[in-house]
Amino acid sequence: MGGRPKGLSKEALAKARTAKMLYDQKDKTAEEIAHILGISRATVYRYLERTQQGY
């Protein structure tokens, strides 16, 4: 079937892993992480949720 592929692209997966690493260090806020990675704060939280699920 058509449509967008499920999951994250390689680039998005790398950003998700980086976001998780930075967030786990507990010295940066989600807003700071978003600025560093060039993504929105909502995307940071989305990535954190996905990394918790094992993506």
* Tokens representing residue 5 in the block: 């592929």
Neighbours of 34 (CB within 10 A): 19
pLDDT at 34 over 90: yes
Give the residue numbers spanning the domain of 50. Answer: 23-55
How do residues 1-24 score in pLDDT, each as one tens digit?
678 777 888 999 999 999 999 999
State the DSSP string of 5-53: PSS--HHHHHHHHHHHHHHHTTSS-HHHHHHHHTS-HHHHHHHHHHHHT
Number of domains, the chain: 1
**Any domain includes 5:** no
Q: With the CA atoms of 42, 52, 18 and 47 taken in that order, what torsion angle do they form, in degrees rounded to the nearest 10? A: -20
- Flag whether 11 is in a domain: no
Query: How far apart are the C-alpha atoms of 45 and 3, rounded to whole Å?
Result: 24
Given a cut of 80, is residue 54 above it in pLDDT?
no
Q: What is the pTM of this model?
A: 0.82
Check residue 55 and give its pLDDT: 57
